[in-house]
A and B are shown apart, each in its own frame.
Chain A
Amino acid sequence: MDSMTSATALWGAVVVSGLYHGVNPGMGWPLAVSAALMDRSRRSLWRALGALALGHLLAMAAILFPFGALLFLADWQRAIQIGAACLVIALGLYLLVNRRHPRFLSRVPPSRLALWSFLAAMAHGAGLMLVPIYLGICQTVDTDAGHAAASTLMTDNVSVAALVALAHTGAMTLAGGVFAFVVYRWVGLKALSRSWFNLDVVWAVSLVLVGGLSLATV
């Protein structure tokens, strides 16, 4: 029962963090509005959202899959979890101290939205934030599975990683898509500057929190 509750909570965290990324203009939905207005075509909005989603999904996968593979070393699971939590905390602290935005992101041309979305998610540690949550989910699965064969475990972990990346990106795209469409279709771009909050500190602190929580529950 306990593991069921914590699994639900962890999956909830995956979805909520996706929604949080999605509504943040900094993660890209205004670019979809811009694309639609520039091309005078609603289809461009969906195409841009698709590119942003693809980049984000790849960034999640690029981080989660290596950790999933590591879990194959079942004896080291605890160490991996501690290491991942420390990494997330360290990135949060770094982002708290260094408030500068990475300049290489602004060298990406506006036509390469998927690449931009991938790099932005990597640079801000969006994938890394999911790692402790993901490892937590793997643990709940493992407990249920008991003493499964190592190969089964590995397949399970990889499919969980794919599910986490998909669920998170799906939530992000849904939230960003709703915002983009409402702004494009009804409320207009005035909403952009009204709805944009500087979440840099909140983001950095939430990285530290996720890492801390995961350390406490290992």
Chain B
Amino acid sequence: MNLRPDPTFHATPKLAMEAPAETLAFTLMLSPDGSQPDGLAVVDVDPKSKTYGEIVHQVIMPNKGDEFHHFGWNACSSSLSPLSGHAFLERRYLIIPGIRSSRIYVIDVKEPLEAKIHKIIEPEEVFAKTGYSRPHTIHCGPEGIYVSTLGGGGVDGTDGPPGIFIMDCETFEILGRYEMDRGQQEKHYDFWWNLPRDYMVSSEWGLPPQFENGIVAEDLLSNKYGHKIHFWKLRERKNVQTIDLGANHQMALEIRPAHDPSKDYGFCGVVVDTTNLQGAIFTWWQKDDGTFEAKKTITIDPRPEDPANLPPLLQGFGAVPPLVTDIDLSLDDKYLYVACWGLGEMHQYDVSDPMNPKLAGKVELGGIARNAPHPNGKPFAYGPQMVEISRDGKRVYWTNSLYSTWDDQFYPGTSGGQMVMAHVGENGGLELAEDFYVEFPEGYRSHQIRLEGGDCSTDSFCYPSA
């Protein structure tokens, strides 16, 4: 407990943008075949530092086969609401779940260069206390740390629906399930919320048998992956509305509400439309009567390609689907970044008018049957995937791995983990930084990035910027 609020807690997104720039990034290291333990890499992102663009510390876990994917902080700017009673927490621990093992690590990064394991929650405890498995997204909310899961109970995670559970934000004890009335929700992926307006939005990927051993083509073509988003009364823990985006909109993944809580809308990325292989972004919003609506506001076309150049999975289509696998919104709610992991492109959309996004910038890097190299001449494996934006919105970082078994299906024979960064132009536009290119250690792939002091997909704000 601090005597003052943590200096990295900000009342408004605007104040967070004005805070000092990040000097370190935390990036997950993934051993795709489980031959080495997964880890957390501390990356120097301070351009004035001698070790700029290098991994300056690694925390290697004591177990193998965890499969790190997403992770988050024990506390964020949401602590500044008197309603939660957590104003004096420290932003100090990273909560890292293994989505294959269901094990959860709590890493103490108070001294980032000496970051170390603080606590390990074994899978059995997760199963016993929640009935869920395969923990994934982390957000700090009113009742503590909320963790979404991808699997229910049982060996293959299909015994009951997956959901969200809550952890104590000081002791990291698992407190139990979040949901009191889940309505139609049967699959899970991401979730986020608007704290003052007291609602949460959640999304759907697929059940564990649909992803753990690779994408199941028959399930995809018969539209059996998730395609709904759910709206919840956050503190009542009740699903109040489900919107079906249409069964062809397979895999509704990232939920990105506007950071400014006075804005009543957000976005959701859809990996692939099975009718035309397009990637899509939906804008969702709350209407005056309190109900929600969603509309497709961005489509990204597939690129025709000679089947000979395509992986077996895609040969029948003769095209590269964009595969929108991650999206992220800048803190001023102006730019939405869309990772097209199949095409090998990072798109930047101006979403000042959320119903009418405009493409403002684009970078080509990697990609199926394209393999566009980095401007420094080095290769970029796979395509742009997990994206994170600096608080001030001037730098965009990303890594390249999607998920171990899926990487191998869409990019057979490829290996390597990289993290790169692009500068954002004064009036939009995106340009890769030639001097920032992090090569991950042999045998490791790279996944989600967290920036020191918070970033654009961790912090929830309780006060409007205005």
Contacts and interface: CB of A to CB of B under 8 A. Distances in A.
Interface of A: 25-28, 30-31, 33-34, 37-38, 40, 99-103, 105-111, 116, 120, 189-190, 192-193, 196-198, 200
Nearest to A101: B85
Contacts of A106: 83-85, 142-143, 235
B261 A38 contact: yes
Contacts of A192: 11, 80, 463
Given A27-B82, A34-B462, A38-B196, 7 more contacts: A25-B82, A40-B262, A105-B83, A106-B143, A192-B11, A193-B4, A193-B10
A31 B82 contact: yes
B463 A37 contact: yes
A116 B83 CA distance: 8
A197 B82 CA distance: 12
A200 B170 CA distance: 16
Interface string B1-33: 111110101111001000000000000000000
The number of chain B residues touching the other chain, given as a range, is 35 or more
B88 interface: yes
Contact of A40 (B10, B12, B87, B466): B466
B463 A189 contact: yes
Contacts of B83: 31, 105-106, 108, 110, 116
A196 B466 contact: no
B46 interface: no
Contact of A109 (B81, B82, B198, B466): B198
Nearest to A34: B463
B143 A107 contact: yes
Interface in B154-183: 170
A149 B87 CA distance: 51
11 contacts: A30-B82, A30-B463, A37-B262, A37-B464, A38-B464, A110-B83, A189-B15, A190-B15, A192-B463, A197-B3, A198-B3
A214 B80 CA distance: 35
Contacts of B233: 109
Contact of B196 (A34, A99, A101): A34
Interface in B119-158: 142-144
A190 B196 contact: no
Interface in B221-249: 233, 235-236
A196 B5 contact: yes
Contacts of A33: 463
B195 interface: yes
Interface in B431-461: none
B11 A189 contact: yes
B196 to A, nearest CB: 5
A189 B261 CA distance: 14
A185 to B, nearest CB: 13
Given A37-B463, A109-B235, A103 B144 contact: yes
